Structure 1
Amino acid sequence: MRRRLAVAAPLSLVGAVALGQVAPQRLRIGFAVGYAPFSEIGTDGQLRGFEIDLAQALCMRLVVQCVPVILDFDGLVPALKTRKIDAIMASMSITAERQQAIAFSAPYYFSPVRLVMRSDTRLEATPAGMKGRRIGVERGTVHERFLAEQFRDSHVMRYATQDQAFLDLRSGRLDATLVDVVIAQFGFLNQAGGRGFGFVGPDFGRDERYYGKGIGVGLRKADANTLGHRIDDALATLRANGTLKALNDRYFNFDLVSLR
């Protein structure tokens, strides 16, 4: 998610302050937009999406003023470290490598990873069942490493973009492609070209060796025991009172937020 640098502050994320009240503390949250339905800029110029709505709900629980800061994805961690932002909400996986540089909240959603094949396939979505079969994957992703190490007897076909893999899957040049469920659903299965295809097999995203521990709010390590604990408490409340599930259901017809 590398996006053009910009800054926006839609009214929906800025809490109103009643006359005579003290303005709440500001919380500058870094987003990487352009990844619908998680975060994007609508035709009205306002930020919208699952993570945008969740950020608003968190700020309300924390009684702080949300200030969104839109950055390229690879600029988020540097901005956090140099105190240009206070938190990151950009579908950032909690991985051991990232935890060496920053802290994370508890996960607020999990990104399932599954094989997409023709709906009438009789192939088993296992290393043995896919032996000798052609599986497409976007080059440079964690999915590529997963297939190379776990599906060694399959032919791993690498593509510059996931859309190219979808095209070859549709044309029959691939037997399957390994991809995030959200990307597959919105970028292929919901489109005309995705008719006759579907998810097959388990959620490989549960393998923490490759995919980490879910998606969390990125924080400075120095803030882990202060702001981090407050965000964890707020997330726990939003999960318990049904707000997190309601936000999930507003954007998705599958569950990304239930604890594993």
Structure 2
Amino acid sequence: MTKTKVQESYRMKKSQKIILDCEKQVHLIRFSVKELKTVALKCYGLMFIDNAHLNHSVADNVPFYLFRPNSSVFLGDLNTLYNSSNIFFLSFSSTCLTEIKLEYSNYIIKRKNMKKELYFSTDNYSELFLGSLKILLSLDDSNKEFILNYKVQEFVSYLIKTYGKEVLDFIFTNSNFEPSGFKNLMWKQVLKNHTLEELAYISNMSVSKFKRTFKDIFDDTPINWFREQNILESCKLLENTKISISEISEFIGYQNPSSFIKVFKKYNGITPNEYRERFLVKEK
């Protein structure tokens, strides 16, 4: 976490409320139970109570929580038992769960879980995970957000393997829609060459709803938009590398180089080779 982010979080201390949105894909903060009454979540959240300063009878029963987007977490009830404790809050957008949703793409929800949160008893794994968050929070590392993204995936995967369908139903049940989260999710899929059905699935939507939502947000169809992003990526490769046209076409999802050349010419008015030659001439 940068110094600026810490200051922004604690600047709201007077109102004893923090609002965590999806501006960043993943965000870790620490605060005292005494400092805040409410955390308003616009994204998913994991909350851990640091039990290091609690007596054993209380520490052994400290839960941790998984929250759904658009939840309000009231901390008043925690003040009595854990008033000397720190809270570690790891908020993350739905984008962090993309790989997990693809891994369980055949999962069918048997009962929608509309709860705002799930809570679990602390175990050895969650204690070790909290320890790793403490270390990450103390580091001034530009790669921290990247690491936290993988930590989220690691821990949610552990919860699924330990608690099964309770967690899966919670994740796969549609929650309130986040336009910014949807936009970030789509940008993450560029060059992954998913089908329309796969894109709809990881967005927790039917294909028809996905196409409508995509059009509303990007003012384009998914096919056109992803094709354009792929062509823009190919332009960068033509400008900055010596990779062959056939390799570039395969990299951006075309099985046949001639199909890539045809689409490229439609967008740019010239072939990939001509584009590369013109760029090299400009450099000279």
Q: TM-score, normalised by structure 2?
A: 0.22
| Structure with greater contact order relative to length (CA < 8 Å, sep ≥ 6) | 1
User: Which has more strand, going by share of residues?
Assistant: 1
